[in-house]
Amino acid sequence: MKKPIYLDNHATTPCDPHVIDAMLPYFSENFGNASSRQHRYGWDADAAVEHARSIIASSLKTATSSVIFTSGATESNNLVLKGICEALEGERNEIVTCATEHSSVLDVCRALEKKGFVLRYVPVDGTGLVNADALCALLSPRTALVSIMTANNEVGTLAPLKEIGLVCRQSGVRFHTDAAQAYGKIPLDMQEMNLDILSLSAHKLYGPKGVGALVLGPSVRRSILAPQQHGGGHESHLRAGTLNVPGIVGFGKAAEIAQSSMTNEADQIAKLRDRLQEELLTAGDAIVNGNTSQRLSNNLNIRFAGVPASSLIARLKKEVAFSSASACSTADPSAPAASHVLLALGLSAGAALSSVRFGLGRFTTEEDVVSAAAAILSAVRTLRRDSREGVFVSPSSTTMTEPA
């Protein structure tokens, strides 16, 4: 059976075949534990891990020792926020972040708030842009950490990292950025962009799932971070646990490919995205969410007035795989909750619930875009017609029923 066209590359990306090839030997002949220091199996595994570490570090123009491997960006965000707050408790008790962050930052911040930390949210404009001056006004000698994502995972809006980094540096505050969506898609030079700490995830850049990194720039003393996992001296005593050697090798390979192909790939993907955007805007009563100039090249978040995202996704489930900008509430999956990101941008709940996110990627073709656009436009027209005629479309199935 033909699979739907994949346009959900913000959720995850397929593993690049070169990445898979690089990983395979580390499941079989090179299966060693990178911490086994007394024999060849361990040395080979360790050499492969260090090679991956040096690729990732050099892509960020930082020292190899800066890279701490983790299980992904969620863990990295947990480690940096909890680790720094724990280390500085009593000295500094404020965190500056933003309402549009990923839940792996926001939920950790809320957990820290319960322990007595004070959260300060920088406002965003209607496109999701953070203003560095507004952020500056929130900094104080009590600020433990500023955490602002590099690129938003729903609307793709890019933060003015360099300006934020400068403001933080001038105030003596550490700046962390969750770069899960941006790493490998835009150049990130830690020194030049005044970045102290980064969270990365391999599966967003055509690498494997379950591996990521926390990158601590030279301006960050190791002692500033209290480890959150104990059980061995791995990763400079900051993250205990046997290293995921095949995953790390794959992450390194994915980073290497991204470094060499980033510029061309971003241009090519942006052209396809722009084409999809143009086509979809012909539906009429359609608006692009987010910032159309400061945006990830692969992102399109769009709302079609009068078309519930859940109905559109359900109608197209056999043709196109994409997602709503809203997360279904786990308590009641039949009642979708409006996206916290879109609400923070000032959209009404109704507008947020009519918004959908497309994420293009390395393997998206022109044919994919043309076919997907045609299918989406046709579904939007049908749903609008049905709604005018009073036909109710169940979001959980494409079964048509009369409203009760």
Ligand X SMILES: Cc1ncc(COP(=O)(O)O)c(C=O)c1O
Q: Which residues are catalytic?
A: 328
What number of CA atoms fall less than 13 Å from residue 270's CA on the CB side?
A: 15
Per-residue 3-state assignment (H helix, E strand, C coil) for 262-274: HHHHHHHHHHHHH
Sketch the per residue contact string, 217 through 256, with ligand X: x for CB under 6 A, - otherwise: ----------------------------------------
Cβ of residue 102: shortest distance to ligand X, in angstroms?
4
Q: Which of 143, 153, 289, 324 binds ligand X (CB under 6 A)?
A: 153
Looking up tokens 């980094």, which residue turns up? 165
Residues 299-358 that bind ligand X (CB under 6 A): none
Residues 257-296 that bind ligand X (CB under 6 A): none
CB atoms under 10 Å from CB of 404, counted, come to 4
User: What is the per-residue DSSP string for 361-390?
Assistant: -TT--HHHHHHHHHHHHHHHHHHHHHHHTT
User: Is the dihedral angle over the CA atoms 191, 193, 196, 198 positive or is it negative?
Assistant: negative
Chain CA centroid to CA 60, Å: 17
Cβ of residue 182: shortest distance to ligand X, in angstroms?
8
Cβ of residue 200: shortest distance to ligand X, in angstroms?
8
Q: Give me 198's structure tokens.
A: 């980064």
Decide: helix, strand or coil at residue 254: helix
- Is there a contact between 93 and 115 (Cβ–Cβ < 8 Å)? no
Which residue, 101 or 256, has its beta carbon nearer to ligand X? 101
Cβ of residue 30: shortest distance to ligand X, in angstroms?
24
Q: Which of 102, 174, 234, 295 binds ligand X (CB under 6 A)?
A: 102
Cβ of residue 291: shortest distance to ligand X, in angstroms?
16
CB atoms under 10 Å from CB of 320, counted, come to 23
Cβ of residue 101: shortest distance to ligand X, in angstroms?
8
Which residue, 62 or 201, has its beta carbon nearer to ligand X? 201
Partnered with residue 199 across adjacent β-strands are 178, 214
Cβ of residue 104: shortest distance to ligand X, in angstroms?
5
Closest-approach residue to ligand X (CB): 72
Q: Phi-psi category of 297—alpha, beta or left, where left has phi over 0 and alpha has psi -120 to 50?
A: alpha
Which residue, 145 or 373, has its beta carbon nearer to ligand X? 145
- Is there a contact between 27 and 246 (Cβ–Cβ < 8 Å)? yes
Decide: helix, strand or coil at residue 214: strand
- Is there a contact between 318 and 5 (Cβ–Cβ < 8 Å)? no
Sketch the per residue contact string, 175 through 194, with ligand X: x for CB under 6 A, - otherwise: ---x-xx-------------
Interface region with ligand X, contact rule CB under 6 A, candidates 45-53, 66-74, 289-297, 385-393: 66-74
Interface region with ligand X, contact rule CB under 6 A, candidates 30-38, 174-182, 221-229, 268-276: 174-182
Partnered with residue 286 across adjacent β-strands are 304
Interface size with ligand X, residues (CB under 6 A)? 12
**Degrees, nearest 5: CA angle 65-222-164:** 90
Confirm or reject binding of residue 149 to ligand X (CB under 6 A). yes
Q: Which of 78, 104, 244, 277 binds ligand X (CB under 6 A)?
A: 104
Which residue, 46 or 178, has its beta carbon nearer to ligand X? 178
Sketch the per residue contact string, 192 through 211, with ligand X: x for CB under 6 A, - otherwise: ---------x----------
Which residue, 102 or 273, has its beta carbon nearer to ligand X? 102
Q: Which of 23, 45, 67, 72 binds ligand X (CB under 6 A)?
A: 72
Where do the H-state alpha helices sit in 123-244? 132-136, 161-171, 234-237
Chain CA centroid to CA 215, Å: 16
Point out which residues bind ligand X (CB under 6 A). 72-74, 102, 104, 149, 153, 178, 180-181, 201, 212
